[in-house]
Amino acid sequence: MRQFVSPPSLRGQRVVICEDEGVTVMLLRKGLQRAGLNIVGEAATADQAVDLVLNTRPDIVVMDERLACDSYGTEAIGRFLPRHPCCVVMLSGARDLATQIGAIEAGAAGFLVKPVDLDRLLTILPEIWENYLLAQSSAGVVPSA
């Protein structure tokens, strides 16, 4: 992984990782921390994700589309976003357009196909974050701190 320094608007943001593959969790945690983000929790199922997001109130959620216990990230997003707006980046092994559209319709601000390319994620994350903030501002929503 190349050295990545997050822009000031992204540095220090609170992140929850929702992923059921241990190796992917370790890769995400290590890379996001190196980029200056603050990992506040990890979840492997939709129920855990909802509880964790509502309790830790992160700025960003990196969410797998398919989680443990036959649960789905899109289902979790539908449960926590109305109560805690945050920037969701969906990860999925599915490459089909329907999955990507489903994630965006559920409320994801961005989508990345797995396996996770950390350099790619860290390259597009600042743009996803800025677009999320712009959309929230345009909608009159003030992101929680």
Nearest in space to 14 (alpha carbons), one of 63, 50, 74, 62: 62
Q: Is 97 exposed, middle or buried (0-12, 13-18, 19+ CB in 10 A)?
A: exposed
| CB neighbour list of residue 22: distance below 8 Å, 6 or more residues apart | none
pLDDT of residue 1: 46
Which residue ranges form the domains of the chain, and what is each CATH number?
Answer: 14-117 (3.40.50.2300)
Claim: this prediction has a pTM higher than 0.85: yes
Q: Over the stretch 70-103, which tens digit does the pLDDT of each residue have? A: 888 999 999 999 999 999 999 998 888 988 999 9
Q: Which phi and psi angles does 113 have, rounded to 5°?
A: -80, 135
Regions of the chain short of the pLDDT cut 50 = 1-2, 145
pLDDT of residue 94: 85
How far is residue 125's CA from residue 46's CA, in Å, rounded to a whole number? 22
User: Of all residues in the chain, what percent are helix, strand and coil, respectively (each to 5)?
Assistant: 45, 20, 35
